[in-house]
Amino acid sequence: MTTLTLVRSEPAPPLMDQVRDIAGSDILPIVGEIDRDGVYPEAAMRKLGRAGAFAQHVSWGGPSTDSGTGVGAAIDAMSAVGEVCLSTAFCMWCQDALAWYIACSDNDGLKRKLLPEVSTGTVLGGTGLSNPMKRFCDIEPLRLKGTRVAGGYRVKGVLPWVSNLGPDHHFGGVFELNDKPGHFVMAIIPCASEGLTLGSNTQFVALDGTRTFSVQMRDVFISDDLVVADPIDGYLKRIRPGFVLLQSGMAFGLIEGAIALMEQAKTTLHHVNKYLPEQPEQFREKLAAMRAKVAKLSETPFDTSTAFWREVLETRLIAGDATVAAAHAAMLHQGARGYVSTGAAQRRLREAYFVAIVTPATKQLRKMLADIDCASSCGGH
Ligand SMILES: Cc1cc2nc3c(=O)[nH]c(=O)nc-3n(C[C@H](O)[C@H](O)[C@H](O)COP(=O)(O)OP(=O)(O)OC[C@H]3O[C@@H](n4cnc5c(N)ncnc54)[C@H](O)[C@@H]3O)c2cc1C
C-alpha cells in the first residue's frame, strides 16, 4: 500500500518580517562594501522584490479607484532597510518610483508585461525625473529633446545622474518635443536601447553603491508602446505626491538608525551624553509624528489639490531637515567611535545629506513652497 504524503507549503512570513530578515542577513554584512567600494546590492534588491517590497503601492486597482494605495506599506519597507543602509533604501525608492509611473499610466501593455516584472524585482530600474522636476519649477532647462517619427519618437540628450541602472534596466524619463516647445512626453526607457550609453565617472561621498550613471541618448528610438503620458500635464500632477511621499522611507529609516546609534552610545557614555541638547527621545517623538502625518497623506496620493501638494512638500522638507539633524546628533553621541573610518555614525551623516539634496532638494522644496504662497497671495503674479 502506498501512502500519500501531502506537503503543505507554509504561508510566507509577513512582508515586514521578510524585509527585516533581508536587511539583517543580506545588507548589514556588506554595508561597508556598499559604502566604501560602491558594491551594488543587487542580490538583496532581487530578494526584496520577491518578498513583495516593491509591489505594495502598485497592487491596487489604479488611480481611478479609491481603495487605499499601499504607499504607506512601501514606505515602511523602505524605512526598515534604510535603518541599515541608505544606498539600498534609495535603490528601493528608484524601483518603487519606476513601478509607480507604470501603475499610474493608462498604458495597458506596460501594466501587463513590465509592471509585474518591476514590482517583483525581476526587472530593475529607476527614474530620471530630477531634471524635469527642476524644469517644472523653473530651475533648469529640460535636457532630453524628442522628435516625432513613425511609431514613436527619436530622443536626444544627457541626464547627469540616474540610479539603480544597468544594461538590462529601465527608467522613467521625460522629453520635450523639438517642434512643440512646452509639450512634454514621459516614457519608460530601456537602458538596452540602441544609441543609449551609461557613463560612470563620478565618485560620490556616499550612495556610491546605487549604480548611478550619466545617461547619454543619441537619437534613441522610443516606441509608442513605452509612452506613459503624452502630454505629461495631468499625469504629472497625479504621480508627484506619491513620488515625494515615498522618499519618506529613506528619511524615516535613517532617523531610526541614528536613534539606535544614540541609544547604543548611552550604555557607556550616558553620564556625559546627557548634556547634549538633542536626545534620542526627542527624535523618537518627532519621528512618530512624521510617520503619522505621512501615513495620513499616503491614503490619498491622487489628491491633486494645491493644499494637499503643499502639505506633502512641507512634510518632505521637515523629514529632510530631521534626517540631517538626527545623523548629526548621532555623530555627537557616538564621539570618536563614530569618527573612525569604519564607524557607522560618519557613514550615516554622509548618507543623511543625500535625503536633503536628492530632488526635490531642501532648496527646491523651499522655492516650491514660496512659489505656492506667492501664487495664492499675489494671484500668481
Ligand atoms: C548619488 C546621487 C544619485 C542620484 N540619482 C538620481 C536619479 O536616480 N535620478 C535623477 O533624476 N537624479 C538623480 N540624482 C540627482 C539628484 O536628484 C539632484 O538633482 C542632484 O543631487 C542635484 O540637486 P540640487 O537640487 O541640489 O541641484 P544643484 O546641485 O544645485 O544643481 C544641479 C545642476 O547643477 C549642475 N551640476 C552641479 N554640480 C555638478 C557636477 N559635479 N557635475 C555635473 N553637473 C553639476 C548640473 O547641471 C545639475 O543639474 C542623483 C544625485 C546623486 C548625488
The pLDDT tens digits of the residues spanning 43-77 come to 999 999 999 999 999 975 455 444 446 999 999 99
Q: Is the CB of 185 under 6 A from ligand 1?
A: no
Pocket test for ligand 1, best of 95, 130, 247, 317 (most atoms within 8 A of CB): 130
Pocket test for ligand 1, best of 88, 137, 161, 354 (most atoms within 8 A of CB): 161
The pTM for the full model equals 0.95
Whole-number Å distance, alpha carbon 66 to ligand 1 midpoint, is: 35
Q: Is the CB of 129 under 6 A from ligand 1?
A: yes
Superfamily for domain range 15-124:
Acyl-CoA dehydrogenase/oxidase, N-terminal domain (1.10.540.10)
Q: Is the CB of 94 under 6 A from ligand 1?
A: yes
CB atoms inside a 10 Å sphere around CB 342 = 10
pLDDT tier, 5 (very low <50, low <70, confident <90, very high otherwise)? low
CATH number for the segment(s) 126-232 = 2.40.110.10
Average pLDDT over residues 139-157: 98
Sorted by where each begins, the domain ranges of the chain are: 15-124, 126-232, 235-378
Q: Is the CB of 364 under 6 A from ligand 1?
A: yes
pLDDT, one tens digit per residue, over 233-286 is 999 999 999 999 999 999 999 999 999 999 999 999 999 999 999 999 999 999
pLDDT, one tens digit per residue, over 164-207 is 999 999 999 999 999 999 999 999 999 999 999 999 878 999 99
pLDDT tier, 15 (very low <50, low <70, confident <90, very high otherwise)? very high
pLDDT, one tens digit per residue, over 310-343 is 999 999 999 999 999 999 999 999 999 999 999 9
Average pLDDT over residues 123-143: 97
DSSP state letter for 11: P
The whole-angstrom separation of Cα 38 and Cα 204 is 9
Classify domain 235-378 at the CATH topology level.
Butyryl-CoA Dehydrogenase, subunit A; domain 3 (1.20.140)
Q: DSSP letters along 278-337, please?
A: --HHHHHHHHHHHHHHHHHHTT-TT---HHHHHHHHHHHHHHHHHHHHHHHHHHHHHTHH
From the alpha carbon of 165, which atom of ligand 1 is closest?
8
Whole-number Å distance, alpha carbon 263 to ligand 1 midpoint, is: 34
Would the pLDDT of 378 be above 80?
no
Residues 44-55 as b or e (16 or more Cβ within 10 Å = b): bbebbbbbbbbb
The whole-angstrom separation of Cα 252 and Cα 298 is 14
Length of the chain equals 381
Would the pLDDT of 1 be above 70?
no
- Choose among 200, 209, 192: nearest CA to 42: 209
| Among protein residues, the one whose CA lies closest to atom 42 of ligand 1 | 160
Whole-number Å distance, alpha carbon 200 to ligand 1 midpoint, is: 14
| Among protein residues, the one whose CA lies closest to atom 4 of ligand 1 | 161
The whole-angstrom separation of Cα 73 and Cα 242 is 12
Q: What is the pLDDT of residue 7?
A: 59
For 231, list phi and psi in degrees, rounded to 5.
Answer: -80, 170
Q: Is the CB of 358 under 6 A from ligand 1?
A: yes
Helices 71-82 + 280-297 axis angle, to 10:
150
Is the CA virtual torsion 368, 372, 377, 378 positive or negative?
Answer: positive
For 202, list phi and psi in degrees, rounded to 5.
Answer: -115, 135
Are 268 and 150 within 8 A, CB to CB?
A: no
Is the CA virtual torsion 320, 163, 54, 40 positive or negative?
Answer: negative
Q: Helices (DSSP H) in the chain: which residue ranges?
A: 15-22, 31-37, 42-51, 71-82, 86-103, 108-119, 130-135, 233-246, 248-273, 280-297, 306-334, 336-339, 344-357, 362-378
Question: In one letter, which amino acid is 146?
Answer: G
For 194, list phi and psi in degrees, rounded to 5.
Answer: -65, 130
